[in-house]
Structure 1
Amino acid sequence: MTSATLSDDAQAVIDEIEERDIDFLRLQFTDILGTVKNVSIPAEQAEKAFTEGIYFDGSSIDGFVRIQESDMRLVPNPSTFAVLPWTSAGDHTSARLICDVYDTATDAAFDGDPRWVLKRAVQRANDMGYTVNTGPEPEFFLFEEDEDGDATLDFSDSGGYFDLAPKDLASDVRGDIIYGLEEMGFEVEASHHEVAESQHEIDFKYDDILSTADNVATFRSVVRAIAAQHDMHATFMPKPIPKINGSGMHTHLSLFTEDGENAFHDPADEFNLSETAKQFLAGILEHAPAITAVANPTVNSYKRLVPGYEAPVYIAWSDVNRSALVRKPAARTPAASRIELRSPDPSCNPYLAFAAMIHAGLDGIENDLDCPDPVRENIYDFDEAERAEYGIETLPSNLGEAVDELESDEVLMDALGPHVAEKFVEAKRQEFREYLVDVSQWEIDRYLEKF
């Protein structure tokens, strides 16, 4: 490839690297499963990274390429430069740059790069005249580490929803996480103790959906790193402890027009939702079973998606209760009109999950889908007959069913693209097969001496 000219933005980053005496750059990307990967390079290589890219072996990354197609190239985005706060007190200071992945054979964006999948979804929205904004609410647990530094399931506090210290003993840890995020450029809007012991939530500012996906990927790394400094283990596993609330990532969505108006707002509507918003919402509901495979991508995800623990499993929407899959939150201003998809969990790959949501909603707009009436009763109290009367279906009950739904949904498979769709389905089928042949401790405890 021909070396690119150094852009003004890239030069500004190089200047900041020198001013802040940065030693190493971590070039960040994610694999198809959402695991954050990085290649560390000396800061002196920054100009080369911006103009030529950094080459790596793609065959070693889950779901990327085969061994004979292994050469890939990372191209960093200058706007994503951020110093990693937990490294600045040590001997060497590191900074992060989020990268796009390129195929060296074609010198084009790599179809298997999850960030590229989301970029294609964003472009589809842009072509229709919309900017997509989103705000996630990721939850996580902070558990104690043992004397060897390994994770345990021991609670780090006894707090509950919105509790303060002394019950919320991890409030100082959460505070350090927030300071770290703010040092990296996050605008944190709220944080609090969640319902379960040792469970927490930190919400950051509503933003364009690509920036938000970048932030979610970074957020998980920051939380884990700073928790480890306090001898705690942070986990985004959806349901680490049975019979208590699991961790979700409720996701707020809205579309804005090219002139900066919220396309979801209509002051004349009973729910202040425009026809565009209702069509988008209808698309989300229509494709919800397939979205679940991407937004709830682990076997463990379905231990959270059960009635009774505030996790929605019923495909409906409401403006007044949280038992429905989609909620229309109250909005103080027209710009705040939005919908909230409550099923996703923080184990998902944010790039793929957000791409699935965009394509599902835009499909609703393009096909003028009818939005059902809201369900204002508590669906958890409905029996099967009442749910049938309202026409309320349920989300898949396990990962295998969810992948079946994904494979049969042409819109969502097209959203992922052939490469990612094939590799994602293959990986999730394998995960579910391994789960089915495993024997759990529950089974041992229940059956070993009984039979």
Structure 2
Amino acid sequence: MSNKSHALFSSTIKEVHLGIFDLDAVFRHKLVDTAKAEKLLKTGYSFCDVIHGWDTAEQTWDPSDTYIDRPCQIFPDTVRSWPFGSGAAIAIADFTGEFGEKSPRNQLLRQIDKAGSMGFQALAAFEFEFFVLDETPDTLRENAFRRLNFFAKNNRTYSLQSAAVHQDLFRKLKTTMETLGVGFDSLHTELGPGCFEAPLVATPGVKAADDAALFKNFAKAFFSREGRSAVFMSKLSEDLPGQSGHFHISLKDMAGTPVFADPDDPDGLSATGRAFLGGILALLPEMLALPAHSVNAYKRMVPGAWAPTWASWGVQNRTCAVRVINDHPESTRIEFRVSSADTNPHTTMAFVLAAGLWGIESGAAPPRAEIGSAYLVRPDNSRAFPRDLQSAASRLGSSSTARALFGDTFINHFVRSREIEAAEAARHVSEWELRRYLEVL
């Protein structure tokens, strides 16, 4: 790495938070002083490989593993200001070599490089819906994660009243994220008590996924510091709508000209845009586990939950898996509506970009657009989604195209992690089962 990168740590920076995103997009980090961070930029970094050997609850998969330190690199272009006080910075790192092939972020970097070799650059952004609870970790545990106490209980979608009443808190959130280098395109209330949405500013390349992953991690930290809890689950309750993590993407050529738009096309889409869209729709059913990687994600993808249920598309149609937004040629883009609030942004962006580029290379053609509600259509089996994580993981593991795009190392690792997640859920008895099968009169 170039010594020029060391200037990123100014004399005012005394310590650096070095972190790696795990498969669930949790930022696993260590705090070091600046002198050590500068040394690690030169010599390389190491991190325990356990973060690729456990689940989000930190239960390890294989008792025979020895959990050694693996070589990593720090990415100088990811250095940002620590938002909770002066004199500190953060930097993103990741594993290198063969072990690094297991990383979603490294897979995304490969797809970005591939796009560049094809003459394209990606512009992208995520938008997240999330709940805010008037709860702390202690109160959540005391109540067994039931009888949740919501912040802004009488919240309404796009509510002026909520915005006015809670403006100081959300201005503070906005300032926190701006310090971190994460910009909001907007911020508004959403459907449900204590529900808010934060569409992020579109940025080029990997920064779009980095921004999204950092936003979720630091939003949780921000609200915790405020005595509250931010929730990024796909489905918090059967009585509430699901929480989305929609992903917007467009391609430009190397001169910066958008390539998805064609004003003369009835749908406003160029041949390149159609092929990109066709690739996503063709590969989505067999690779659904990549953007929908949690057990909870499949409880959101049901009719009437503002989430797609099969590989469909439409122009401005929010009932479809992919929505084409064509208001203006320069901002024509694809909104991938499958991913939910708990999605790993690096995995989702890697999938969408890989599938779209595959579509361009293969000349994929999308099926006809859905004009009416996609919920009223009964799709054929080839376009239907797997109904649970176990089925989705199995289909991903059997996909020769997924292995061609991402490699056996990543697919085997990711599928194993999802199968373990599904097996962990399968052995638990839910409150619904108790109420239904105890047969209490």
Give the TM-score taking structure 2 as reference length: 0.90
Residue identity over aligned pairs, in percent, reads: 27
User: Over aligned residue pairs, what C-alpha RMSD do you find?
Assistant: 2.4
Contact 1:33 1:424 in 2 (8 A): no
User: For 1:318-357, what per-residue CA distance to the aligned partner results, in whole angstroms no more than 9, with x for missing partners?
Assistant: 114211111111333x321111110111322221221111
Query: Aligned letter for 1:98?
Result: I
CA shift for structure 1 position 448: 1.4
> Does the 8 Å contact 1:27/1:74 carry over to 2?
no
2:355 to 355, 360, 371: 360
Amino acid at match of 2:358: D
The DSSP-based 3-state class of the residue aligned with 1:249 is: coil
Give the Cα–Cα distance (whole angstroms) in 1 for the partners of residues 316 and 102 of structure 2. Answer: 40
Determine if the alignment matches structure 1 residue 100 to structure 2 residue 94: yes
Task: State the partner residue of 1:78.
Answer: 76
1:61 Cα deviation from its structure 2 partner: 4.0
Alignment partners' CA distance in 2, 1:283 and 1:163: 38
- 1:85-234 to structure 2, matched below 5 A, reads 85-88=83-86, 93-103=87-97, 110-146=100-136, 148=138, 150=140, 153-157=148-152, 158-166=154-162, 170-234=166-230
1:46-75 deviation per Cα after TM superposition (whole angstroms, max 9, x unaligned): 320211122232245437998568232332
Q: CA deviation at 1:202?
A: 0.9
Q: Assess if the C-alpha contact under 8 Å between 1:292 and 1:344 holds in 2.
A: no
Report the number of matched residues: 428
Alignment of 1:2-17 (within 5 A): 6-8=2-4, 10-14=5-9, 16=10
**Which ranges of 4 or more aligned residues in structure 1 deviate by more than 6 Å?**
63-66
Residue pair 1:118, 1:354 contacting (<8 A) in 2 also: yes
Q: 2:337 aligns with which of 339, 342, 348?
A: 342
CA distance in 1, matches of 2:286, 2:170: 34
Higher strand share: 1
Shift of 1:147: 8.8
Aligned to 1:415: 405
Q: Secondary structure at the match of 1:262?
A: coil
Other-structure match for 2:368: 373
Q: CA distance change for structure 1 residues 350 and 62 in 2, over 3 Å: closer, same or farther? A: farther
Does the 8 Å CA contact 1:236/1:247 hold for their aligned counterparts? Answer: yes
Contact 1:360–1:411 at 8 Å: present in 2 too?
no
For 2:26, the equivalent position in structure 1 comes to 35
Q: What is the rounded CA distance, in whole Å, between the counterparts of 1:148 and 1:400 in structure 2? A: 32
Alpha-carbon distance in 2 for matches of 1:34, 1:358:
18
- Kindly provide the amino acid, as one letter, of the partner of residue 13 in structure 1: L
Q: Which amino acid in 1 is paired with 2:357?
A: L
Which amino acid counterpart does residue 303 of structure 2 have in structure 1?
Answer: P
Any conservation in 2 of the 1:177–1:222 contact (CA below 8 Å)? no
Amino acid at match of 2:88: S
Who is 2:241 aligned against? Answer: 245
Alpha-carbon shift at residue 187 of structure 1 (Å): 2.5
CA positional deviation for 1:141: 1.0
Q: Deviations over 1:340-383 (max 9, x none)?
A: 1101113222212211111111111111112222111112234x
Q: Secondary structure at the match of 2:112?
A: helix
Q: Matched residue of 1:344: which SS?
A: coil
Assess if the C-alpha contact under 8 Å between 2:290 and 2:348 holds in 1: yes
Q: Which amino acid aligns with 1:102?
A: T
Instruction: Check conservation: 2:285, 2:386, Cα contact below 8 A.
Output: yes
Task: Name the SS of the counterpart of 1:397 in structure 2.
Answer: coil
> 2:270: which partner in 1?
274
Moved more, 342-351 or 62-71: 62-71
SS at match of 1:253: strand
- Between the aligned partners of 1:302 and 1:156, the Cα distance in structure 2 is 26
- Residues 81 and 320 (structure 1), Cα distance of their counterparts in 2 relative to 1, 3 Å cut: closer
Is 1:398 the counterpart of 2:398? The answer is no
User: In the superposition, relative to structure 1, how do residues 376 and 263 fare at CA in structure 2: closer, same or farther (>3 Å)?
Assistant: same
C-alpha distance in 2 between matches for 1:117 and 1:287: 17
C-alpha separation between the residues in 2 aligned to 1:446 and 1:378?
32
Instruction: Tell me the distance in 1 between the aligned counterparts of 2:99 and 2:186.
Output: 36
Query: Any idea what the Cα deviations from partners look like across 1:145-175, whole Å, max 9, x if unmatched?
Result: 1594547522101212111334885543332
How far 1:143 sits from its partner (Å)?
0.9
What does residue 23 of structure 1 align with?
14
**Aligned match of 2:433:** 443
How far apart, in 1, do the equivalents of 2:230 and 2:330 lie? 34
Aligned mates of 1:349, 1:437 — CA distance in 2: 24
Q: 1:427 to 1:133 in 2, by over 3 A?
A: same
Matched residue type, 1:99: A
1:293 match: secondary structure: coil
Q: Could you tell me which amino acid in structure 1 is paired with residue 95 of structure 2?
A: V
- Aligned partner letter, 1:36: F
Instruction: Name the amino acid aligned to 2:277.
Output: L
Q: 2:297 aligns with which of 284, 301, 308?
A: 301
Match of 1:317 in 2: 313
Amino acid at match of 1:218: L
Residues 146 and 83 of structure 1: CA distance in aligned 2, closer, same or farther (over 3 Å): closer
Unaligned runs of 5+ in 2: 55-60
Q: 1:413 to 1:198 in 2, by over 3 A?
A: farther
